[in-house]
Each structure stands twice: as structure tokens, then as C-alpha cells.
A and B are shown apart, each in its own frame.
Chain A
Amino acid sequence: MSELSYQSPLAGVAEPQGLSISIREITERGMIDLRGLTSDPAFMAAAKGALGVDLPTRPRTSASWGDVRVLWLSTDQWLILSSRAKAHELLASLRAALQGIHSLVVDVSDMRAVIRLEGDGCREVIMKGTSLDLLDKEYVQGCCRRMRYAEIAALLDVVEDNVFDIYVFRSYAHYTWNFLCATAKAPAKLKLFGKQDVPA
């Protein structure tokens, strides 16, 4: 029997050189897909009981509690982030809490690759691949949304000002990585927006 071992989607890619921002893969992140109806008080209460935090119901927002983060994906769908070890516990407690309630809980930790962008000019780099206006005041810490990035489906999470996580499906990991490395090259840095004030 071969041993099952976790391998991150971007294991073995070369360290990018000469970029204007820092790009790295985030590994070992546990993700749980949660679906249910916000109109069902039993569902909302059970989810809060298991996670410790209310599910965000406002579109394109996220909520955190300790090392657990909940991203709003749709009016009835959330992505729960934590460490891989913690995801197993969360999965079990969510399943137990949601017993008999119309809902769905699935461990999707291996479904997506996570790439973190850090540094001054991140917004400009991401905007090379999307039609979103990341200088809009909506895109501040705690905002998350799905977007069309480099022609593929991606999830954008504003972790902090100038710290962004991009989630893409695992099979797109290398494509996205190469796209980011190409668009983030130091000589290709955009100076369109200068030192604009970051939206408050």
C-alpha cells in the first residue's frame, strides 16, 4: 500500500525572482464548504454554535473568530478557513450541530490553491487580470468576493491592506502562478495610481 501524503498544488515551483511584490503559496489551509438557508434560524444558530461566530450575511464580507475565518460566497454558501488540523474538528462539530437541519458541510481543503500577494502595488497587479476596480472603497480588509481573474474563476480575499489571498481551483494553480509571476515583474509595475490613498 502506498502512503497517502499531502502535496500542495504548487509544490516544487521555483522561487520567483525580480518581482515588484511578494508572491507565495499558502499551504496547509483547511477549507470547509458550508451551505444552508439564512432564513432558517436553526441553521444560523447551529452554525454560530459550532464556529463561534455569526455567518456573514452581507454580500462580499467575511468574519473571523480566533483562527477561524468565514468567507461569504453566496447568499447560501460560505467557505470556512482554518488550519488543516482544525478543519477536521470543525467538520465534525458542524456535522453534529447541523444534524437534521437542511444544510451541506463538505471538507474541500484540497479543492483550491491559495496564493498570497503582499506588498505595495498588489492592487495594480491583480487589476491586470480582472475588471474589478480594486481602488474602490469596497475592497478593504474583510472584503472577499469571487471574480473573473485571468479568464478563470477565482476568489479574492482582502486579508489586510496590501495583503491579498487569491483562491483558484487546484488544476489552475500553475496557470495562475505563472500569470502572477509574469504580471508582477518589477519592470512591468504600473504607476497608474501612484501613491493614491488607500480607501478608508
Chain B
Amino acid sequence: MLVVKCPVCGAEGDETDFHAGGQAHVRRPATTDPAHVTDEEQSNYLFIRINPKGLHFERWRCDRGCGKWFHAARDTVTMEFKAFYGITELPPADVIAQAKGQWAEYFANRLTSENKA
């Protein structure tokens, strides 16, 4: 059983009170540049997901509470939640530091692009 805690309303409960919403931080290419979306970008957006062994980032919904979406960092091996954070936020820095592989790459890119902007 997973015990989830909503960062919006603070409700803590069994996973059946919540709804898992798949991988977090998936960006729709057409949102930033609708005129120049390649087929590859679009198919990556629609179908390709990260499936790591270890630390993973997911979307969850406080289904039987406040009804808001939020993000969670979960270890897929131990099922342990590392952090819960807002839907518009990035994970806490110490959790980003633990990310490996594709996730580490993703956050590195994201942080560089945000620093540029």
C-alpha cells in the first residue's frame, strides 16, 4: 500500500484516495512552437515515456480530497515517496540531485533552459 500526501490540502491517505496520472513533466511541443512541430517530437510527446528502475517523477490527483493535481517523486524499486510538490513546480533540489539517467538529463536541460530565460 502506498501512503500519499497531497501538498495542496495536506490530506494523507491510501493510494485508493488518489489517482495516478502517469509521468510528470511531459511537455507538449505545440505549446511552445505550434508552427514547427516535427512528427518525431509529436510522437515522443504522445507515446514515449521514461520507465526507470529507481527514482521516478509522476503526476497524482487528490481524487477524494481537494481534487487538485500535484507531482510526486517515487522510487519504483522501494515504492518510497521522496517528495510531493506542486503541479507547476520542479522537485526539491536534493531530490533532483538523486535523479539518474534520462531524468538527470531532463532536469539538467530544464534547469539550463530556465536559467537562460
Interface residues of A (CB under 8 A from B): 59-60, 73-75, 77, 131-132, 145-148, 153
A129 to chain B, nearest CB (A): 12
Query: Quick check: is B54 within 8 A (CB to CB) of the other chain?
Result: no
On chain A, the residues within 8 Å of B9 by CB distance are 59-60, 74-75
A60, B67: Cα distance in complex, Å: 13
Query: Quick check: is B53 within 8 A (CB to CB) of the other chain?
Result: no
Residues 24-67 of B at the A interface (beta carbon under 8 Å) = 63-67
B18 to chain A, nearest CB (A): 9
Contact across chains for B67 and A148 when beta carbons are under 8 A apart: no
Chain B: interface residue total (CB-CB under 8 A): 14
Give the residue name and chain of the A residue nearest to B65 (CB). A146
A75, B8: Cα distance in complex, Å: 8
On chain A, the residues within 8 Å of B11 by CB distance are 59-60, 145
Contact across chains for B66 and A59 when beta carbons are under 8 A apart: yes
Contact across chains for B17 and A147 when beta carbons are under 8 A apart: yes
Task: From B10, B64, B68, give the contact of A147 (CB < 8 A).
Answer: B64
B15 to chain A, nearest CB (A): 9
Give the residue name and chain of the B residue nearest to A146 (CB). B64
Query: Quick check: is B109 within 8 A (CB to CB) of the other chain?
Result: no
Query: Quick check: is B105 within 8 A (CB to CB) of the other chain?
Result: no
**Secondary structure dominating the interface of B:** loop
B48 to chain A, nearest CB (A): 33
A195, B16: Cα distance in complex, Å: 29
On chain A, the residues within 8 Å of B68 by CB distance are 74-75
Query: Quick check: is B94 within 8 A (CB to CB) of the other chain?
Result: no
Give the residue name and chain of the A residue nearest to B64 (CB). A148
A179 to chain B, nearest CB (A): 16
Known: A74-B66, A74-B67, A148-B64. A131 touches B16 (CB 8 A): yes
Task: From B13, B63, B66, give the contact of A132 (CB < 8 A).
Answer: B13
Give the residue name and chain of the B residue nearest to A153 (CB). B64
Known: A74-B66, A145-B65. A131 touches B10 (CB 8 A): no
On chain B, the residues within 8 Å of A74 by CB distance are 9, 65-68
Contact across chains for A75 and B66 when beta carbons are under 8 A apart: yes
Give the residue name and chain of the B residue nearest to A147 (CB). B64
Q: List 8 A-B contacts (CB under 8 A).
A: A59-B10, A59-B66, A74-B66, A74-B67, A131-B13, A131-B16, A146-B66, A148-B64
A74, B65: Cα distance in complex, Å: 7
Query: Quick check: is B14 within 8 A (CB to CB) of the other chain?
Result: yes
Counting from the closest, the 6 A-B pairs by CB-CB distance are A59-B9, A131-B14, A74-B66, A148-B64, A74-B67, A146-B64
Give the residue name and chain of the B residue nearest to A148 (CB). B64
Contact across chains for A148 and B16 when beta carbons are under 8 A apart: yes
A61, B14: Cα distance in complex, Å: 21
Give the residue name and chain of the A residue nearest to B66 (CB). A74
